[in-house]
Amino acid sequence: MRKSEIDSMCFEKGRITGFKPRFRSIDDDWERYTEALVELVDRGVVAHEKGRSLYDLYLQDLDEWLTEFYFEQKRFDQIEAHYTPTGEVSFGPICPKHLIVFDRLQAMGEGARVRRIWRSHTGLIKGEFWWYIGERNAGFRMAKYYQASEQKQRREYAKLIGQIPEMKRELLAIMANYRKTAEKTGAGETELTRIDADIGAIQAEERPRPKGKPDPRKMDEDLFWNLIDEGLMDQPIGERIDTLPERLAAFKATAIRDFEKIQRSLDARAYRWDIWALAYLLQGGCSDDAFEDFRGWLIWQGRKVFEGALADPDSFDVTLHSGTASGINGLRDAAPMAYEMRQGKAMKPVKIVRMDVAGPEIVEEEFASALPRVAALVGT
């Protein structure tokens, strides 16, 4: 945020006055507000109590405060983007504060958005539940690169698997709430039938096996992208992550393994300094783990966006990114889940090749100059 903007701001009753949202995204305005707050603290305008974080003092309700601006402007696309999980979530129900937002959207005739957010959330936590089920079905395996005794690894495995009953109870309660919301917001019979089928599978702790002969097509990049792009225009990432294993299970076991090989190849192709710079600028920072998540998210954006970003990172459409990005786990779990659904047994791990960041090295201080268009659009 420019210093000139902050010069016109004051601070009253725990809130910055004079702050104007940019309406690019709630996450973006959250970062801008926080940046302004830190600057006002440095100037002595805002008191900072020793031993307490700025978040505890002034930012705990910032999300709701900013969301109000977006409701006033009827910025429903940005509200939906902010409250839709983009790849990974903590296992558990949607928080009460978010449910209040959903009730407001529904009251304003935006029930379809509410269902999309629910589909994304439930899709992601179902994925985590099925991962635990897969680990149980595969049985204990010694981790080669984990420096711990077999006894310790067995204890940790038993503890991991022991969480399944409670996860199942919690997930069934979440799915029941989702179904009530779907009915209340006018969901069609197809969506309700899908929810009921999911509830039945969770109760049985088994996903339905694919029916009929497997699709004979060989898995190549074109087919890989067809599977990734399916639902791109009308489904949130969480829903696509949820359905990908089922769609992939329609293929032969060799094709399923090849899917993971292609996914890892694309991930490696995006492991470049200029793509790291792009992730850093879009997110206001980017650690190793965050960059891994970003590459997964970039693949989920579809072939056109992925290949366009690699061809010219500075031409990236910044409106696609709402402040956070993840999804790599959903990609990596898809093939093992699909393989188990097809074959009834665990898939042997695909060999992982060590990657080095490709391209001319760009230091963090030069990210903005390396991608000047993106830097200007995100206000860096």
Whether residue 188 is found in the same domain as residue 117 = yes
Is 80 within a domain? Answer: no
In a domain, 79, yes or no: no
Quick check: is 50 in a domain? yes
Give yes or no: residues 68 and 97 share one domain: no
Neighbouring-strand partners of residue 238: none
- In sequence order, the β-bridge partners of residue 16 are 11
Judge if 126 and 184 occupy the same domain.
yes
Structure confidence at residue 367 (pLDDT): 95
Pair 350, 263 in one domain: yes
- Verify that 194 and 223 share a domain, yes or no: no
Question: Is 105 found in the same domain as 90?
Answer: yes
Helix (H, G, I), strand (E, B) or coil at 65: helix
Q: Which of 47, 73, 99 is the last residue of a domain?
A: 73
Regarding whether 217 and 200 lie in a shared domain, the answer is no
Specify if 78 maps to a domain. no
Q: How confident is the model at residue 326, as a pLDDT?
A: 79
- What pLDDT was estimated at residue 176? 97
Asked if residue 188 and residue 228 are part of one domain, the reply reads no
The answer on 247 and 178 residing in a single domain is: no
**213 three-class SS:** coil
- Which stretches of the chain score pLDDT less than 70? 1, 323, 380
Asked, for residue 265, whether it belongs to a domain, the answer is: yes
265 and 236 share a domain?
A: yes
Neighbours of 104 (CB within 10 A): 15
pTM of the model as a whole: 0.81
Three-class DSSP category at 12: strand
Of the residues 208, 233, 260, which one is the last residue of a structural domain? 208
**Would you state the pLDDT for residue 85?**
83
d(CA 303, CA 294): 15
Same domain for 158 and 217: no
Give the model's pLDDT for residue 296.
92
Give the contacts of 219 (CB within 8 A, at least 6 positions apart). 251, 254, 255, 256, 258, 259, 262
Task: Report pLDDT for 1.
Answer: 67
Secondary structure class of 215 (helix, strand, coil): strand
Residue 38 counted as domain residue: yes
Q: How many domains, in total, are found in the chain?
A: 3
Closest CA to 260 of 361, 349, 139: 349
Q: In a 10 Å sphere around its CB, with 0-12 CB exposed, 13-18 middle and 19+ buried, how is residue 322 labelled?
A: buried
- Please tell me the predicted confidence (pLDDT) of residue 145: 73
Residues 216 and 204 reside in one and the same domain: no
Q: How many helices and strands in the chain, by DSSP H and E? A: 19, 2
Q: Which of 208, 231, 252 delimits the end of a domain?
A: 208
* Within-domain flag for 115: yes
Which pLDDT value is given to residue 366?
Answer: 95
For residue 124, being part of any structural domain is answered with: yes
Residue 292: name the closest of 314, 270, 308, 312 by CA. 270
Domain that holds residue 275: 212-380
